[in-house]
Amino acid sequence: MSDDREILDTIEAFLKRDVVQHVHALEQSDTWPEAIVGQMRELGLFGAMIAPEYGGLGLPCATYAAIVERIARVWMSLTGIFNSHLIMAAAVQRHGTEAQKREFLPRFASGEIRGGLALTEPDCGTDLQAIRTTARREGEHYVVNGTKTWISNGIHGSCFALLVKTDPHAEPRHRGMSLLLAEKGPGFTVSRKLHKLGYKGIDSAELVFQDYRVPVDRLIGGVEGMGLKHALSGLELGRINVASRGVGVAQAALDEAVRYAQIRKTFGKPIAQHQAIALKLADMATRTEAARLLTRRAAEMYDSGARCDMEAGMAKLFATEAALENATEAMRVHGGYGYSTEFPVERLYRDAPLLVIGEGTNELQRLIIARQLVERNPA
């Protein structure tokens, strides 16, 4: 516990020293925060959950979730830069061959290689089994053709866990899916940067693969047909990350609303003393704390090694809806000032909607939760 406190204190100092004063300008200009990323690399964030034997910090998921929450309270975009990267690392650490672990994990942990997860395609988001990107084996290489979109770190990253169809005719479809470690090179191009309502600073890109060649030894785990399973296990961590971001955004919105409600006066008293505003603040605080507890529970289950797709789904669902609702209520508490770009509330209002979509829509989370309820409680 004392180690956790020391880590969180270090993150707090980093945010105050190197981040807070730059957020507004970087977010408004949609500029990739190169200097801040360098500081994140020095702090070891790109190796946060990679085992110490491979050069990482080996943090438990519960500590990692607390770090993500704290950073998201200041600028949510930063959490995406290392989240997608750590999902890729988790796929290698959990499912990779020993040779793959030795070659890639130390370089992932140091930040020498940074990247993410390349799953989504232009005609395929939630239904990953419908992907069209193919990898045809030719000797000691796979030849990849297809397009991925909305890929975090797509421009500034250099390596991606790439979901492909190694057998497009397999039934069921997931048996024909594999996950490759794809480093940028000939045939792998970034076609464009995708512009977004919020979530500025982090690059989201479209990636195009045209006769791109990947060595066979880059097949994660060394066995074809396991790609969807490997990707979904990584998404457990991703959903806990997004839930933690939701807690951070919900807390930031609450903090801004509580502060402003004590400064702004109407009818001779601070608006916090008006019942209409007081009820909003109470609901915002309760939602935030409930979201935090659900997220902590999911992180603890992840640490235990137990299956936690239902718990991660519950945390992601509730925390991101809390973020969206709190951001909206904070804007209403601020009135006209909440609509101004001079205040952070409008940034929270633009960032929050991404959370209910990313790492699987909240509609999908509800289906996962319901399916698991039935499986775990047979009649």
Residue finishing a domain among 181, 204, 225: 225
* Claim to verify: residue 355 and residue 238 sit in the same structural domain: yes
Which residues lie closer than 8 Å to 263 by C-beta, 6 or more apart?
A: 270
Q: What is the pLDDT along the chain (379 residues), one digit of tens a residue?
A: 557 889 999 999 999 999 999 999 999 999 999 999 999 999 999 999 999 999 999 999 999 999 999 999 999 999 999 999 999 999 999 999 999 999 999 999 999 999 999 999 998 877 889 999 999 999 999 999 999 999 999 999 999 999 999 999 999 999 999 999 999 999 999 999 999 999 999 999 999 999 999 999 999 999 999 999 999 888 889 999 999 999 999 999 999 999 999 999 999 999 999 999 999 999 999 999 999 999 999 999 999 998 899 999 999 999 999 999 999 999 999 999 999 998 999 999 999 999 999 888 999 999 999 999 999 999 8
Site of tokens 């959370």: 355
Measured between its terminal Cα atoms, the distance across the chain in Å is: 41
Residue 121's alpha-carbon distances to 17, 127, 146, 219, 270, in angstroms, are 38, 10, 9, 20, 50
**In total, how many domains does the chain have?**
3
Q: Greatest CA span in the chain, whole angstroms?
A: 79
Residue finishing a domain among 225, 246, 269: 225
Q: Give the active site residue among 140, 346, 359, 363.
A: 359
Burial of 193 (0-12, 13-18, 19+ CB in 10 A): middle
Residue finishing a domain among 110, 142, 172: 110
CA nearest to 321, candidates 283, 271, 355, 280: 355
| 186 contacts 205 by C-beta, under 8 angstroms | no
The CATH number linked to 181 is 2.40.110.10
* Claim to verify: residue 207 and residue 248 sit in the same structural domain: no
* Claim to verify: residue 327 and residue 270 sit in the same structural domain: yes
Tokens of 294: 């659900």
* Claim to verify: residue 89 and residue 131 sit in the same structural domain: no
* Claim to verify: residue 106 and residue 129 sit in the same structural domain: no
Tokens of 195: 């512009």
Is 359 among the residues known to form the active site?
A: yes
Overall pTM surpassing 0.85 (yes/no)? yes
- Domain of 51 in residue numbering reads as 2-110
